[in-house]
Amino acid sequence: MAYSNALAALADPTRRLIFERLRKGPRPVGKLAAGLPVSRPAVSQHLKVLKEAGLVQERRDGARHIYQIDPKGLGQLRAWFDRFWDDALESFRAKAEGGGENTG
Amino acid sequence: MAYSNALAALADPTRRLIFERLRKGPRPVGKLAAGLPVSRPAVSQHLKVLKEAGLVQERRDGARHIYQIDPKGLGQLRAWFDRFWDDALESFRAKAEGGGENTG
DNA sequence: CAGTTACGTAAGCGCCTGCTTACGGTAAGT
DNA sequence: ACTTACCGTAAGCAGGCGCTTACGTAACTG
């Protein structure tokens, strides 16, 4: 259940800000922290969470740590979402037509 | 930013359990609480959060409160996700071809 | 080697959150 | 009217989370 951690990671507003900044491309920690309403160490901690959730990747460029979005984690999350979406719609359709109790 | 609350709501594991149970169709509170590792009042509180996040709808059937997934909230969340996914992929492609700094 | 830049981590703290128990209110059955 | 079923809410509490400050480390510069 990788999407579990990913979902929890994206629940935090600050973490979403960081993640959305990463959407436009790779960034070092300092660049990410600049302009954000929290300190740089806080950003580091958030990046650690995002990394462990499989949402971002880390790369080294000298003294700088470059972070970028991990398409794999994002893909898993999206896959879970799509499946959920399909199931829910199917359930609605079944309700609209026959209407009745399901398995569960 | 409706998806903000929705994301926060789905971050909690118990809330996800409830939400996934709802995926198969409408359920009263008691049915939802049965089998879950928490008490029924806890489920009620979770349902309130899900409702305020636009993820579920409430309906009355006599003394029972029937809950079901709100396709609108789920759709908004999915839309945000899709957009994010597309942007991220585009960024990757741009990186792979030209490679360079972007606006930000 | 000394100084600066860039970053992660540890420690500590306030706040928010999820849980339980207890209670009140509405609907159905007799 | 009494009882039972079903549910939401209030109060209170333990635990987790995010933030800051302080510190240690690696890399680049001169």
Q: CB distance from A3 to chain B under 8 Å?
A: no
In degrees and rounded to multiples of 5, residue B58 shows phi and psi of: -115, 145
Average pLDDT for A55-62: 97
Q: Please tell me what DSSP assigns to residue A36.
A: S
Distance from CA of B81 to the nearest CA of A (A): 7
pLDDT digits (tens, 9 = 90+) for B25-84: 999 999 999 989 999 999 999 999 999 999 999 999 999 999 999 999 999 999 998 898
| Token pair listed for B16 | 């996800």
Bridge partners, residue A56, by sequence: A69
Q: CB distance from A71 to chain B under 8 Å?
A: yes
User: Is A11's pLDDT higher than 70?
Assistant: yes
Average pLDDT for B17-23: 96
**Residue of B19 and A102 predicted with greater confidence:** B19
For tokens 């006599």, what's the residue?
A: B62
**Residue of A8 and A101 predicted with greater confidence:** A8
Strand D contact at CB of residue B65, distance < 7 A: yes
Q: Is the pTM higher than 0.85?
A: yes
Torsion angle in degrees (nearest 10) through CA of A20, A21, A26, A29: -120
User: Residue A99 — pLDDT band, cuts 50, 70, 90?
Assistant: very low
In degrees and rounded to multiples of 5, residue A39 shows phi and psi of: -75, 165
Query: Are the CB atoms for A55 and A10 separated by under 8 Å?
Result: yes
